[in-house]
Amino acid sequence: MTTQNPSITILIADDDLDDRAWIEQAYIESGVDNQLSFVQDGNELLQYLHRQGRFTAPGAAPRPDLILLDLNMPGMDGRQALTQLKSEPDIRRIPVVVLTISTDEQDIRHTYDHGGAGFIIKPETFDGMVEVVKVLNQYWFETVELASGQLVRKFRHHKPH
């Protein structure tokens, strides 16, 4: 079991500004000291992970330990982005949890078929969102071992971007 680590980075892909603010508030409320990065659609998500576009500056795109992915976004949506990033070596090791208002059984199935590590329906209340954030942190950063250890970090220094 690891302890809460302030260097944990969570990358959130969501086009809705209100939802982004709400998720951020829930993280603050839950008292966990994670670094949150936001992108607004699937294209930006891939640019962030590839350190392209507005993410080329050193430190602009720290490797996320967890990705929270909305499904319905303009341009490249969450379904396409999930399929794309799960087909890429190295990047595919980062767990992707879908966080959406969709309750469509086809979306749920698609998410798991394509390597999603969870499908969470956005809670309707702020308290519900705080609870989701707490459980996410408890599970991913205290129960689970992630593939973002030393070895991965070492590899990254040798890989030009």
Partner 1 sequence: MPKNAKPVVFLMADDDPDDRLLIREAFQESLLSNSIYFVEDGVELMDYLRHQAGFSNPAEAPTPDLILLDLNMPRKDGREALAEIKSDPQLRYIPVVVLTTSKAEEDIMRSYDIGAASYITKPVTFDGLVEAIRGLGQYWVQIVRLPGKESAKAK
| Residue number, 33 or 142, with CB nearest to partner 1 | 142
Q: Does 143 bind partner 1 (CB under 8 A)?
A: yes
Does position 146 interact with partner 1 (CB under 8 A)? The reply is yes
Contacts with partner 1, 72-101, as mask; x by CB under 8 A: -----------------x--xx-x-x----
Question: Cβ closer to partner 1: 55 or 119?
Answer: 119
Q: Tell me the residue type at 37.
A: S
The interface region with partner 1, picked from 18-26, 34-42, 71-79, 128-136 by CB under 8 A, is 128-136
- Interaction of residue 136 with partner 1, rule CB under 8 A: yes
Q: Pull the structure tokens for residue 81.
A: 């982005």
151 binds partner 1 (CB under 8 A): yes
137: its two tokens: 């942190």
Please give the residue ranges that form the binding site for partner 1 (CB under 8 A).
1, 89, 92-93, 95, 97, 103, 105-106, 108-109, 112-113, 115, 117-121, 123, 128, 131-132, 135-136, 138-140, 142-147, 149-152
